[in-house]
Each structure stands twice: as structure tokens, then as C-alpha cells.
Amino acid sequence: MKNHNLNFLELVESSLKEVKECDIHQVKDLLEKDEDFFLIDVREDREWIQGHILGAHHLGKGIIERDIGNLINNKESLIVLYCQGGYRSALAGENIQKMGYKNVLSMSGGLSDWMLNNFPIDKP
């Protein structure tokens, strides 16, 4: 685990009071069952290029609020956000909930947990 600044962790904790979490197994199950949902990687461009979950869309945390409406116009859609560890996805989730998206989850453990479990990733 990275040595995150206490203020950052407090901010994430605050966001997690608003944003529900799911784990990597639940996300893998949604993908395997071909459920209708949006999986969004909120990491930086350079992280996305190094590898991401197959089927994910890329809307980095810096642009998600600006661009999510171009990808998802139904605010009832199930949206699962992930990052590397589950922190940035919680922060992004809180913001898009404020924009009216009602069914937002943050994947706890992020891509790190996904890869630790040897779940498949897509490398361009």
C-alpha cells in the first residue's frame, strides 16, 4: 500500500460514506454474465496504456465529470469505477453522483487486487 497523505485518506473516507463499493469478484461476475453496466477506468492515460480490464472505458479522473455525459446519458445506468487501489475511483464516484448518476459503485482494491488474483487484463 502506498504511503498516502492523511488528508487524502480522510477525503477518500468521506467519499466512501457516499459511494458504495463492490469488490473485484463482483465485477468479474458482472463481466462474465455479460451484465449491462459501464466499467470505467479513472486512472491516468499512462496507467491505462500499461494495462486495463477488458471491456472498460477510459475516463480519467481529471476529465470524467466533463465527458461522462458523452458516454452515459441514462443516469440510472449501473456504473462501476476503478483505479489502481480504489481511492481515486471513490472520489470520482462522489462527483458523478452529485451530477445525478444514481447507481455508482467504486471497485475496492482496484486494478492492484484484480491483478493479484490473476484476473485478465488488456494490454494494447
Rounded to a whole number of angstroms, the CA Rg of the chain reads 13
Contact 78, 100 (CB under 8 A): no
CA 5, distance to chain mean position in Å, is 21
Nearest 5°: CA angle at 22, between 48 and 18? 95
Three cell numbers, residue 15: 467519499
Q: Distance from first CA to last CA of the chain, Å, rounded?
A: 26
What is the set of active-site residues? 83
Contact 103, 78 (CB under 8 A): yes
How far apart are the C-alpha atoms of 28 and 115, rounded to whole Å? 12
